[in-house]
Amino acid sequence: MRRFVLTLLGIAAIGLVASAAALWALSSGRPRPYLDPEGRPVAGALSEKIRVGINGVEQGMFIRSRDPKNPVLLFVHGGPGVPEYWLTERYPSRIEDEFTVCWWEQRGAGLSYHPDIPVDSMRYPQFIADTIAVAEYLRQRFGKEKIYLMAHSGGSLFAIQAAAARPDLFFAYIGMGQMVYGLRSEQLAQAKMRALFEEQGRSDAVRLLDENPVTLEGPLPPAYDAARDAYMHGLGLGTTRDMRSVEREIFLASWLSRDYTIAEKLAYWRGKFWSKRLLWRDAMMTDLRTQIRELPLPAYFLHGRHDYTVAYPLTREFVGQLQAPIKGFYTFEGSAHTPLFEEPERVLEILRGDVRTGTTSRADPP
C-alpha cells in the first residue's frame, strides 16, 4: 500500500512539473508577430508591448498594426479590470488590418496593475482623464490630428464621457456592448435568465433568482452576484454566444496566452479582483441617461441581440434618445456581448463602410 501511495505521489509530482514547464513555455511575454491570413510575417507591420507613464501611473498596452500609417484606434476594455487583448488569439478580428490598434490595459488592470496604485485614484473621473491622456499619447506618437475611440462594456461607461469632454481628439466614438445603467441592466438580465431557466425546468436557478432580486438601491445580492457569470455564460448571454464556461474559457484560457509572462498573468487576475472591488459601485450606480444626453461627434453602437451582460433593450433605448451629429445603432443577431469577436466580418464592414466615411447606411432603421 505504501509503495502504491508513493507511486501516486510521484505521478502527481511529475504531472505538476510537466504542467509548470508547459505554462513556462506558454509565457514568453513576447508579443506575437503580425501575420497575414496565411501565417506569414507582414513586412513593416507593428506588434509591440509597451508601458507608458499616464497621469502618474505606468500603464501597459499592446499596439498592433498591419501598417502603422493607418488610422489609429484606441480600444478601451471592459470590466472593471478585464483586459481583452489575450482573447484576440482565439477570436481574431483582423481589425489591425484597417487600424493601428492600441489595446490599452487600464489603471489597476492587467499590465497596468500594481499594488501601490493610489486607491483613491480608482474612480471614474480618473479613468476619464486617463483615456484622454492615452489618446493624446497616440496622437503625438503617430502624428495624427484625431483618432478613433472604441470602448467595450464597463470601459464604455467612462470612455463615452471622455468623448463628450474632448470631442476634438476623436473622429468618432464606437460603443460595443455600451453600458448605460448597471443596476437596471442587471434587473433586465435577471428577468431574462429567469424566463430561460423556467423554460428549461431549472427550478433551482429560478428559486435563487427569485430569492435574490436586484434592486435599484444596490448592491447586487451576494448570492446572485456569485452565480451571475456562470448563469449568463451557460445560457449564451455572456462574453460570446458560444462561450459556456467562465472557468475553462476565460480563467484557464487566459493562462495560455504567450504574450504575457507568468508574472503578468498573475497580475492580470490580481488586478481583476482588485479593480472590481474598487470600481464595482461606480459601474453599477452610474446612470448615463442622466449624464449623457448629447454627444458632439459621430457615434456608433454595436450590440449583440443576445447580450444581457449589458442588457440589449436598455442600450437600444438609450441610443434612441441620444443626440449626435451622426448616430448609428447596429444589432448583431448572432452575438452576445462581444460582436467584434463573434461577427468580425460585419464589424469590419461597418468600420470601413460607415465609421470611416461618416455615414450610417448599414445601421438599423431608426
pLDDT tens digits along 36-89: 888 899 999 999 999 999 999 999 999 999 999 999 999 999 999 999 999 999
Give the CATH number for residue 69.
Answer: 3.40.50.1820
- The answer to whether position 238 is within a domain reads no
Half-sphere exposure of 124 (CA within 13 A, CB side): 21
- Matching residue, cell 496593475: 113
Q: List the one residue out of 317, 316, 284 whose CA is nearest residue 302.
A: 316
Q: What is the pLDDT at residue 10?
A: 44
pLDDT on residue 181: 98
The pLDDT assigned to 15 comes to 42
Of the CA atoms within 13 Å of residue 336, those in its CB half-sphere come to 16
How much is the pLDDT for 38?
87
Between β-strands 327-332 and 72-76, what pairing exists: parallel, antiparallel or unpaired? unpaired
Supply the pLDDT for residue 266.
Answer: 97
Cβ-contact 178, 156 below 8 angstroms: yes
pLDDT digit string (tens) for the chain, length 366 residues: 555 444 444 444 344 444 556 665 778 889 999 998 888 999 999 999 999 999 999 999 999 999 999 999 999 999 999 999 999 999 999 999 999 999 999 999 999 999 999 999 999 999 999 999 999 999 999 999 999 999 999 999 999 999 999 999 999 999 999 999 999 999 999 999 999 999 999 999 999 999 999 999 989 999 999 999 999 999 999 999 999 988 999 999 999 999 999 999 999 999 999 999 999 989 999 999 999 999 999 999 999 999 999 999 999 999 999 999 999 999 999 999 999 999 999 999 999 999 999 999 999 998
Do 210 and 198 form a contact (C-beta atoms < 8 A)? no
- pTM value > 0.85: yes
pLDDT of residue 300: 98
Q: Would you say residue 287 lies in a domain?
A: yes
Rounded Cα distance, 91 and 85, in Å: 10
Report if residue 121 sits inside a domain: yes
Query: Would residue 239 count as lying in a domain?
Result: no
Which helix (H) or strand (E) is 14 found in, with range? helix 2-25
Distance, in Å, from the CA atom of 23 to the CA atom of 264, rounded to the nearest integer, reads 13
Query: How many C-alpha atoms does 44 have within 13 Å on its Cβ side?
Result: 6
- Longest CA–CA span in the chain (Å) reads 78
What's the total number of domains in the chain?
1
Domain that holds residue 285: 46-182+253-355
According to the model, what pLDDT value does residue 3 have? 52
CA 72 to chain centre: 18
CA distance linking residue 66 with residue 353, whole number of Å: 19
Enter the C-alpha cell of residue 261.
509572462
pLDDT, one tens digit per residue, over 235-274 is 999 999 999 988 999 999 999 999 999 999 999 999 999 9
pLDDT attached to residue 22:
64
Query: Could you tell me if residue 235 is inside a domain?
Result: no
Residue 208 maps to a domain: no
Burial of 334 (0-12, 13-18, 19+ CB in 10 A): middle
* Rounded CA separation 360/302 (Å): 12
**Residue 173 DSSP code:** E
Q: Is residue 162 part of a domain?
A: yes
